Amino acid sequence: MVRGVTIAQGSPAHSLFQSLSAFRQQWPGGGFSWDSRLFCVASSFSADLESDARSAVMQVFRFQWNSRAVRTAPEPIQEIAEVVGGLRSDQILVATEPNETLMAYGLWWPWGDDVTISFRIGLSGLSAARYEDDFRELYGVFAY
């Protein structure tokens, strides 16, 4: 059961939300806020937590692309990269199993100051809008 979120067992979103819930519990970076520009949740954290944060990310988001590899990524990944304005050389786009129905993606964005890193998480796919409220509730954020 995902805290506060009621998604039918056996639905395409159930296992995804279970993974996102486990990720939320392991996340060392503190709280999340809503990024209204990119329609995703975001957490900024100290670079001192980078190793723990990367470990948490890689347990759920098993696919990753950098600015070069994204050019040959599956189409849904390329679309995400385009929507967020592309990737700089130090940025990484990660995702659960890439597909057109429903997936979660993450954006690993160092600030360039060697002090702070942001990690953003969003939903993508044909069913993403259906689960947006549940997603926000899971991370305790609401759009304004």
Profile the chain (144 residues) by mean pLDDT over runs of 10 residues.
Answer: 65 90 94 93 96 96 97 96 95 95 96 95 95 93 70
pLDDT of residue 7: 83
Indicate whether 2 belongs to any domain. no
Tell me which residue range forms the domain holding 26: 12-139
Look up residue 73 and give its two tokens: 């990524």
Number of domains composing the chain? 1
Indicate whether 130 belongs to any domain. yes
Indicate whether 4 belongs to any domain. no
Helices 128-139 and 12-26: angle between axes, nearest 10 degrees: 30
pLDDT of residue 1: 41
pLDDT of residue 143: 59
Look up residue 113 and give its two tokens: 């100051």
Indicate whether 5 belongs to any domain. no
Indicate whether 1 belongs to any domain. no
Cα–Cα dist 107/6, whole Å: 26
